[in-house]
Amino acid sequence: MSKARVILSVEQLSKQYSGGFQALDDINLDIRRGEIFALLGPNGAGKTTLIGVICGLVNASSGRVLVDGHDNISEFRQARQRIGLVPQELTSEAFSKVWDTVSFSRGLFGKPPNPEHIERVLRSLSLWEKRNNRLITLSGGMKRRVLIAKALSHEPDILFLDEPSAGVDVELRRDMWAVVRGLRDRGVTIILTTHYIEEAEEMADRIGVIRGGKLMLVEDKHTLMSKLGTKVLTLRLMAPLTTLPESLNDFDLSLSEDGFTLDYGYRSTVSQPSDTPNNIAALLAALAEADIEISDMDTRQSSLEDIFISLVKEQP
């Protein structure tokens, strides 16, 4: 990748906590200017530690981090100024007011007051009506949005969102995704962590998979999903089949021993290029044509665990 396109560069980064636990193991990662990057991994994988090291909250044991060319230790202020962080944990300044806490955050980065900017941020997060509320009077989802507002208060170029949708309802999650996309459209680079494949698939341009402190792969979302993101459609039949009719040979089908269920493996449509036909419709038509009646159906997406299992299989 050309250096001009790289806004954040993590080089040979390792972290051993004082008890000796190796939380990060030789992480190398370049983030492109303007992309949404999702870091996907299970509990304890090292996601928050990696963000902590990049933001200068956790000391690395070795390696370095360049934020838009600035070393995050020797040029801490320049590096940190470019970063907004929405932490995983809610820290409470329970009695501060929304407007004050967000404006104060801006000041911490040495930026002059800019009430228009703060107003824009609060409006975009539907917090304007609550600007004079004390944090303690807000709902959990609103508090989370205040964290986002704080992170945006100093107009960062890179925004980290650590588990943005943990404990957030479906509606707020959608709102948040819309806000994140809006930021990206204005040129902000976004790095988010998540446990959810669906979230990574919905939001990201590229996905990194981390487990046990190791970055197992970094891949364009579409490439990763088409490699790993298969779904299975299970069809329950009204009457058992002994063999599959030849007219169904084109489909990736397997028939259960009792002849009552058909499994169909297909690619998730979100990750499919738009010109690929969706074969479920064709399959259902072919089944109707062959007079095979269906009593029930169910779909299952390969889980994060399945993805890890196939990764481990690929890389013995």
Ligand X SMILES: Nc1ncnc2c1ncn2[C@@H]1O[C@H](COP(=O)(O)OP(=O)(O)OP(=O)(O)O)[C@@H](O)[C@H]1O
Minimum CB distance to ligand X smaller for 44 or for 115: 44
Give me the half-sphere count of Cα atoms (radius 13 Å) on the Cβ side of residue 207: 26
The one of Mg ion, ligand X, none whose footprint includes residue 44, by CB under 5 to 8 A per kind, is ligand X
Task: Identify the H or E element spanning 28.
Answer: strand 22-32
Please give the size of the binding site for ligand X, defined by CB under 6 A: 13
Is 43 a residue that touches ligand X (CB under 6 A)?
Answer: yes
Among positions 70-109, residues that touch Mg ion (CB under 5 A) are 88
Residue from 36, 37, 38, 47 in contact with ligand X (CB under 6 A): 47
Residue 21 interacting partner from ligand X, Mg ion, none (CB closer than 5 to 8 Å by kind): ligand X
| Crossing angle for the helix pair 98-108 and 115-124, to the nearest 10 degrees | 120
What DSSP state is assigned to residue 311? H
Closest distance to Mg ion from the beta carbon of 193 (Å)? 6
Query: Is the CB of 183 or the CB of 210 nearer to ligand X?
Result: 210
Nearer to ligand X, 162 or 201 (CB): 162
Interaction with ligand X in 21-40: which residues (CB under 6 A)?
21, 23
Name the residue type at position 95. Answer: F
Which pairs with CB-CB distance under 8 Å and at least 24 residues apart come from 120-125?
A: 121/149, 121/152, 121/153, 122/98, 122/149, 124/179, 124/182, 125/149, 125/179
Q: Among ligand X, Mg ion, none, what does residue 23 contact (CB within 5–8 Å per kind)?
A: ligand X
Residue 48 engages Mg ion in binding (rule: CB under 5 A): yes
- CB count within 10 Å of CB 195 equals 16
The enclosing H or E element of 159 equals strand 158-162
Residues that bind ligand X (CB under 6 A): 17, 19, 21, 23, 41, 43-49, 88
Q: Footprint of Mg ion on this chain (CB under 5 A)?
A: 47-48, 88
